[in-house]
């Protein structure tokens, strides 16, 4: 019986102590680049190839690297530094947030050599959707580990940490922690040091921990802290140790309401301190820290009077950079007039000294009636306004939908998408191979899957010799994603280039539908050796495409250059060109929403071309015939034969002979032969017009002023009457607000001069906004404050009374029934450049 009572008491005691501790709602610990989980001081860092981690990275550009344990053994948390994930293209980790509010985000870095990668030379950016954590970041030269800790108020459902290589280097990370902390950890206000006042707005302020010091006490590591923080000793920061001496207390601390809590700092911080030594010549105790000059800092002093024998004896001053912080501070007056009460006070230093030094001092008060004294238990220095750079986001595939897009970069990929794509494409291929569909509607430049993995995974070259060609990637890295395919394999796949298999003809040559040995479908583009668009464009396409992996860009599966053949093999795009779905064929019309989604997808692909690499890539031939649709009507940009890498940093354009397609050509480029990414924006503007008007960009059968769609459309748009000329089949389903924004976007894209046109990123944003307007209805007033939105006129709040069709599934069913049209193949023949 006694034992039972004891056991019960024990349980109650354990429960009691447990519930007093803070349990983080979000607690992500990731061991990057590792195949196995690692346990560090009782905390489990999961391998980043495990299911619970969402890593979004272009294929082959995320490398799991390791080094020997011996080389890291001398560091704390050695096992975390033994592996790293290296990225050669923008990539992200995303974390679903269970709780909104303050979180610690910790990043671990240790530079080592792995194969051809020297991480000590890496230079990169790390950003969330709202804040740039690191910019132009390089490792310090002493090759020791670096841990960066941030305190972020995360209110989104998902935290996306994007790693972006800068220069022509790579980025990397060894481990990541994302952990909820109590909301009260950072209050909204603090005292301003100079000018004296109150600082408001800490609540939303991102902070970076610069220093966290257990003054007068030992180092505290994650396992002994209430929030897994690390507290360093003050030994290397104190300037005049002679005037101070450490004090420690074993006694109980009097935690009080209104004072600090155990989460603010653990007992071992408040139980140790530095105290001013009572001597004949009393001066200040001063600690000095290296910080970034001219930056803002939040400075938190932790106090606890563990030294006095009664109240009102310990009264002192504190200073930051010679500015007075607290004057005649009497700790026993702060909370309840008792001793040993943990307490802290926050100050904001708006601009640190240009020298990059920050000093904190504790000195005697000026009062005559108390002995000179002073104490400090702990100190935290946190940088505010971490970086001014612009954020870069690589969204995980599932996060792209239904979020207000403030997307500056969007590279999609990632494990989930690839797996899903493979599964889908295996299913589709199985089905299609069995059915032997009668002439699928097609196009000059087709395809249909996520290639690199389907290549490795399905091994369609199992009988052929697979030679890897290392082509140069635009960002200067190697990629193994382009494969040389033996001619015999292609002969077989196309039934000896059977004319029956031709699905398109272009200036380059013919495009064949082909079925590989594993019965997967591909599109084979065979260069015409007499073609004037010869070998150079063949090379361009191989080089550009083999480095490009994006959900909205058609993938190159391989090529063949045997017997002076020029053959490119692409993923097969089941649903053909966007153009064929707009006019000139008997296919059912695409819904307005589907059209918008296609525009958004292609804008994303182009935006990636323009910004995803060190040098931007200009497509030069943006048109509806070069936007292909997969079996789900998802858009992918194709045909990179004319693409050029953009201007070097010191130039603003590339001078080049004018190429492109009539009707889409940027007039400025035409006149001045100066190519910029804004030429693509112009052409894309024409595509947008084509999408909403559903007519050819050049139609010589029409009256003179209507022949050129760009000229004609912009005339109506400028009159505010775009609604008069849009596709009658969908005009009833477009909300006026959405149409207005769409029209404005077109108008901006078609601006006379490139400088006046938006970037592809802006276009993307605007299109996503159009989709929001279309779906969310007219009440978008809360978004009006965002600077992206201009020209929303409040006087036009007519609400469309028409029902908006959102039955995508039914549309898909319809489309699966469609068949090829004769009109279509005629169109294809006029397609050649």
Contacts with ligand NAG by CB under 6 A lie at 66-68, 101-102, 135-136, 153, 155, 167-169, 183, 203-204, 218, 220, 223-224, 268, 278, 283-284, 296, 319, 321-322, 350, 353, 359, 361, 363-364, 371, 384-385, 387, 389, 476
Counting runs of H as helices and runs of E as strands, what totals does the chain give? Answer: 17, 45
- 621 has catalytic annotation: yes
Q: d(Cα 645, Cα 8) in Å, to the nearest integer? A: 73
Residue 350 CB, shortest distance to ligand NAG, in Å, is: 6
Residue 540 CB, shortest distance to ligand NAG, in Å, is: 21
Residue 65 CB, shortest distance to ligand NAG, in Å, is: 8
Residue 215 CB, shortest distance to ligand NAG, in Å, is: 14
Report the relative pairing of strands 567-571 and 521-527 from DSSP bridges: antiparallel
Q: Is 712 helix (H, G, I), strand (E, B) or coil?
A: helix
Q: d(Cα 458, Cα 461) in Å, to the nearest integer? A: 9
Residue 127 CB, shortest distance to ligand NAG, in Å, is: 11
Q: Are 302 and 265 in contact (CB under 8 A)?
A: yes
Is omega for the bond preceding 717 within 30 degrees of 0, making it cis? no
Residue 50 CB, shortest distance to ligand NAG, in Å, is: 16
Q: d(Cα 666, Cα 686) in Å, to the nearest integer? A: 10
Of 126 and 627, nearer to ligand NAG (C-beta) is: 126
Q: Is 668 helix (H, G, I), strand (E, B) or coil?
A: helix
Which DSSP category does 814 fall into? H
Residue 490 CB, shortest distance to ligand NAG, in Å, is: 35
The answer to whether 525 is a known ligand-binding residue is: yes
Q: d(Cα 413, Cα 676) in Å, to the nearest integer? A: 27
Q: Is 580 helix (H, G, I), strand (E, B) or coil?
A: helix
Q: How many CA atoms lie within 13 A of 180 on its CB side?
A: 17
Q: What token pair was written down for 492?
A: 């077989």
User: Cα dist. 328→91, 365, 369, 389, 653 in Å?
Assistant: 52, 5, 12, 41, 64
Of 296 and 456, nearer to ligand NAG (C-beta) is: 296
Q: d(Cα 484, Cα 461) in Å, to the nearest integer? A: 10
Of 233 and 398, nearer to ligand NAG (C-beta) is: 233
Q: What is the DSSP string of 362-405?
A: EEE-S-SSS-S--EE-EEEEEEES---SPP-----GGGGTTS--
Of 371 and 488, nearer to ligand NAG (C-beta) is: 371
Q: How far is CA 431 from the centre of its chain?
A: 36
Of 327 and 829, nearer to ligand NAG (C-beta) is: 327
Residue 154 CB, shortest distance to ligand NAG, in Å, is: 8
- Its sign, for the CA torsion 492, 422, 575, 445, is negative
Of 83 and 447, nearer to ligand NAG (C-beta) is: 83
Q: d(Cα 725, Cα 728) in Å, to the nearest integer? A: 8
Sequence-distant (6+) residues with CB within 8 A of 4 are: none
Q: Are 385 and 295 in contact (CB under 8 A)?
A: yes
Q: d(Cα 470, Cα 459) in Å, to the nearest integer? A: 19
Of 142 and 369, nearer to ligand NAG (C-beta) is: 369
The catalytically annotated residue of 48, 135, 621, 630 is 621
Q: d(Cα 178, Cα 105) in Å, to the nearest integer? A: 5
Q: What token pair was written down for 178?
A: 């994302």
Which DSSP category does 800 fall into? P
Q: d(Cα 53, Cα 179) in Å, to the nearest integer? A: 15
Active site positions, annotated = 621
- Residues flagged as binding site: 525
Per the annotation, where are the binding residues for ATP?
525
């Amino acid at each position: 019986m006694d034992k039972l009572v004891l056991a019960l008491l024990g349980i109650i005691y354990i429960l009691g102590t447990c519930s007093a501790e803070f349990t983080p709602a979000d607690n992500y610990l990731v061991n990057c680049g590792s195949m196995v989980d690692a346990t560090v001081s009782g905390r489990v860092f999961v391998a980043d190839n495990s299911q619970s981690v969402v890593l979004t990275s272009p294929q082959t550009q995320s490398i799991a690297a390791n080094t020997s344990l011996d080389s890291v053994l001398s560091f704390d948390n050695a096992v975390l530094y033994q592996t790293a994930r290296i990225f050669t293209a923008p990539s992200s980790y995303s974390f679903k947030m269970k709780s909104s509010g303050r979180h610690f985000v910790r990043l671990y870095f240790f530079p080592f050599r792995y194969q051809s990668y020297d991480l000590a030379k890496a230079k990169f950016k790390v950003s969330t959707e709202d804040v740039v954590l690191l910019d132009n970041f390089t490792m310090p030269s002493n090759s020791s580990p670096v841990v960066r800790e941030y305190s972020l108020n995360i209110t989104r459902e998902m935290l996306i940490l994007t790693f972006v290589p800068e220069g022509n280097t790579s980025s990397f990370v060894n481990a990541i922690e994302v952990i909820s902390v109590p909301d009260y950890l950072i209050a909204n206000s603090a005292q301003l040091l100079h000018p004296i006042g109150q600082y408001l707005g800490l609540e939303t302020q991102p902070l970076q921990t610069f220093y966290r010091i257990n003054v007068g006490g030992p180092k505290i590591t994650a396992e002994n802290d209430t929030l897994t923080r690390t507290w360093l000793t003050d030994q290397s920061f104190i300037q005049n140790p002679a005037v101070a001496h450490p004090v420690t207390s074993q006694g109980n601390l009097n935690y009080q309401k209104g004072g600090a809590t155990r989460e603010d700092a653990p007992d071992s911080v408040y139980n140790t301190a530095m105290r001013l030594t009572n001597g004949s010549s009393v001066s200040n105790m001063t600690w000095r820290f290296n910080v970034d000059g001219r930056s803002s800092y939040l400075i938190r002093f932790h106090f606890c009077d563990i030294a006095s024998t009664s109240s009102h004896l310990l009264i002192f001053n504190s200073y930051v950079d010679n500015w007075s912080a607290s004057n005649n501070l009497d700790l026993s007056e702060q909370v309840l007039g008792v001793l040993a009460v943990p307490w802290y006070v926050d100050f904001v230093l708006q601009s640190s000294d240009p020298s990059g030094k920050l000093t904190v001092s504790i000195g005697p008060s000026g009062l005559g009636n108390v002995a000179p004294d002073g104490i400090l238990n702990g100190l935290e220095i946190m940088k505010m306004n971490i970086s001014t750079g612009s954020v870069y986001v690589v969204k995980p595939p599932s996060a792209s939908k239904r979020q207000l897009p403030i997307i500056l970069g969007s590279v999609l990929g990632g494990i989930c998408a690839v797996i899903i794509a493979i599964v889908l494409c295996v299913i589709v291929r199985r089905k299609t191979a069995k059915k032997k569909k009668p002439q699928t509607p097609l196009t000059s430049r087709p395809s249909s899957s996520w290639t690199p993995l389907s290549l490795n995974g399905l091994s369609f070259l199992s009988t052929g010799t697979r030679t890897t060609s290392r082509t140069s990637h635009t960002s200067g890295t190697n990629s193994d994603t382009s494969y040389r395919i033996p001619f015999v394999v292609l002969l077989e796949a196309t039934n000896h280039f059977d004319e029956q298999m031709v699905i398109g003809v272009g200036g380059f040559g013919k495009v064949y539908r082909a079925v590989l040995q594993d019965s997967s479908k591909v599109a084979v583009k065979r260069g015409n050796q007499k073609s004037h668009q010869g070998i150079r464009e063949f090379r361009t396409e191989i080089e550009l495409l083999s480095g490009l992996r994006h959900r909205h860009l058609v993938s190159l599966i391989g090529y063949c250059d045997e017997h002076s053949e020029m053959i490119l093999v692409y993923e097969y795009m089941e649903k053909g060109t966007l153009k064929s779905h707009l006019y000139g064929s008997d296919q059912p019309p695409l819904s307005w929403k589907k059209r918008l989604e296609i525009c958004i997808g292609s804008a994303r692909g182009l935006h990636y071309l323009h910004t995803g690499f060190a040098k931007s890539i200009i497509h030069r031939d943006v048109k509806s015939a070069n936007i292909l649709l997969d079996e789900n009507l998802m858009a992918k940009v194709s045909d990179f034969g004319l693409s050029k890498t953009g201007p070097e940093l010191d130039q603003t354009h590339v001078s080049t002979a004018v190429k492109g397609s009539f009707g889409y050509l940027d007039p400025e480029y035409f006149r001045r032969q100066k190519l910029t990414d804004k030429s693509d924006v112009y052409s894309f503007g024409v595509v947008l017009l084509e999408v909403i008007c559903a007519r050819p960009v050049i139609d010589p059968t029409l009256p003179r002023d209507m022949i050129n769609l760009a000229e004609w459309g912009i005339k109506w748009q400028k009159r505010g009457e775009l609604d008069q000329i849009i596709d009658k089949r969908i005009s009833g389903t477009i909300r006026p607000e959405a149409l207005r924004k769409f029209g404005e976007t077109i108008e901006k894209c078609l601006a006379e001069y490139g400088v006046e046109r938006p970037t592809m990123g802006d276009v993307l944003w605007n299109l996503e906004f159009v989709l929001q307007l279309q779906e969310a209805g007219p009440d978008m007033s809360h978004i009006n404050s965002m600077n992206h939105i201009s020209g929303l006129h409040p006087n036009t709040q007519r609400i469309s009374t028409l029902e908006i069709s959102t039955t995508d599934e039914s549309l898909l069913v319809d489309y699966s029934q469609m068949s090829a049209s004769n009109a279509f193949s005629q169109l294809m023949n006029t397609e050649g450049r």
